[in-house]
């Protein structure tokens, strides 16, 4: 039984899952796969699904309080302006901060550089009942690092297998992983960067380095292709999110989170006390 809004013609987790052999160059960032609704009208769908997500998140948190060790990890990857922050604000933000563990991964600090690249990632993992959100992630260690030759090939090359093993370990210990690769077009990225330069309230989001990365688009496409080809596993598949339409990428990732939470088969944890006896005690207290 599904409660998917009728605007969806296909289940997001099926239509967006990366298919082996498909090419990054064939992704249309302006498309809205599986969704027949328009931007107009998407707000009310989003509002309803925000509420659905929040309800499931609370249930996960409640189970965590009752000792359930399971957790959810949302991995957001994408070029600058792809909309990772918007997912955090408008999708995950509908949940209760008490149960959310948000981490953004930037250029490693000196301390982080002194450790294995997964060190900072392990420290940021969600504990039982929590939803972890990675705004960028360990995948930067095979994306920016590969594109800029920050370490030699014989160092980054084995990382794909190492990441797969790492994620297998997480899944086996009760973490459901939802990996979203957000794809924005070069044109749309130009518009979004231009807007950041036009508005003083957006300067803080602009980084001159974003233009440098933009010039390396083909190299990034290649690096993303390798990530999708080599780290989309049956236990932690990648979802490819067309992201030129912000309203679509938000709806899509919202559904992926709902589906992941539903697949955990959660219910409200039973009382760890005698409810009737407590009612009597309270009445007399
Ligand atoms: P932002 O997401 O806009 O805050 O930018 C963070 C920056 O940190 C991006 O340019 C990333 O490519 C960069 N970054 C993240 N992880 C790494 C890493 N492991 N090595 C080098 N740069 C990184
Ligand atoms: Mg940025």
Domain positions in the chain are: 12-284
Strand order in the sheet with 175-183: 100-104, 131-135, 71-78, 175-183, 238-242
The reported pLDDT for the residue numbered 1 is: 52
**pTM of the complete model:** 0.97
108 lines ligand 1 (CB under 6 A): yes
Among 3.50.50.60, 1.10.1740.10, 3.10.20.520, 3.40.50.300, name the CATH number for the domain at 12-284.
3.40.50.300
* The residue to which tokens 């697949």 are assigned: 263
Nearest residue (by CA) to ligand 1, atom 7, is: 106
Residue 38 Cα to ligand 1 midpoint, Å, equals 33
Q: Tell me if 88 CB under 6 Å of ligand 1.
A: no
Contact criterion met (CB below 8 Å) for 80 and 193: yes
Longest dimension (CA), the chain: 72
**Ligand 1 pocket mutation, candidates 111, 121, 140, criterion most atoms within 8 A of CB:** 140
CA 103 to chain centre: 11
Block residue for tokens 């957001």: 76
Burial class (CB in 10 A: 0-12, 13-18, 19+), 26: exposed
Nearest CA to ligand 1 atom 3: 80
- Residue 238 and residue 17 in contact, taking contact as beta carbons nearer than 8 Å: yes
Q: What are the residue ranges in the chain where pLDDT is below 50?
A: none
Mutation test of ligand 1: which of 104, 107, 211, 215 has the most ligand atoms closer than 8 Å to its C-beta? 107
Q: Which two tokens stand for residue 74?
A: 């949302």
pLDDT of residue 2: 77
Residue nearest to atom 9 of ligand 1 (CA): 106
142 DSSP assignment: G
- Structure token digits, residue 161: 């297998």
CA–centroid distance for 200 within its chain: 28
* Residue 141 alpha carbon, nearest atom of ligand 1: 19
């Amino acid at each position: 039984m599904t409660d998917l809004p009728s605007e969806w013609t296909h289940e997001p987790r099926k239509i967006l899952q990366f298919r082996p052999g498909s090419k990054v160059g064939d992704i249309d960032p302006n498309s809205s796969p599986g969704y027949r609704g328009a931007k107009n009208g998407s707000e009310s769908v989003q509002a309803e699904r925000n509420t659905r997500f929040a309800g499931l998140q609370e249930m996960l948190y409640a189970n965590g309080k009752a000792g359930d060790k399971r957790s959810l990890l949302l991995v957001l990857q994408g070029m600058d302006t792809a909309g990772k922050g918007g997912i955090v604000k408008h999708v995950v933000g509908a949940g209760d901060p008490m149960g959310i563990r948000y981490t953004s991964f930037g250029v490693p600090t000196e301390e982080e550089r002194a450790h294995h690249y997964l060190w900072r990632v392990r420290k940021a993992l969600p504990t039982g009942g929590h939803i972890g959100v990675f705004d960028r992630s360990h995948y930067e260690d095979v994306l920016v690092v590969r594109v800029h030759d920050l370490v030699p090939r014989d160092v980054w090359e084995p990382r794909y297998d190492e990441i797969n093993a790492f994620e297998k370990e997480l899944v086996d210990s009760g973490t459901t992983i939802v990996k979203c690769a957000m794809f924005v077009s070069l044109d749309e990225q130009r518009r979004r960067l231009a807007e950041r330069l036009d508005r003083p309230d957006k300067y803080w989001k602009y980084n001159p380095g974003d233009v440098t990365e933009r010039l390396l688009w083909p190299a990034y496409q290649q690096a993303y292709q390798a990530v999708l080809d080599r780290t989309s596993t049956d236990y932690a598949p990648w979802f490819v999110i067309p992201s030129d339409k912000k309203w679509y990428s938000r709806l899509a990732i919202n559904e992926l989170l709902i589906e992941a939470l539903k697949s955990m088969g959660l219910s409200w944890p039973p009382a760890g006390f005698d409810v009737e006896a407590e009612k009597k005690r309270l009445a007399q207290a």
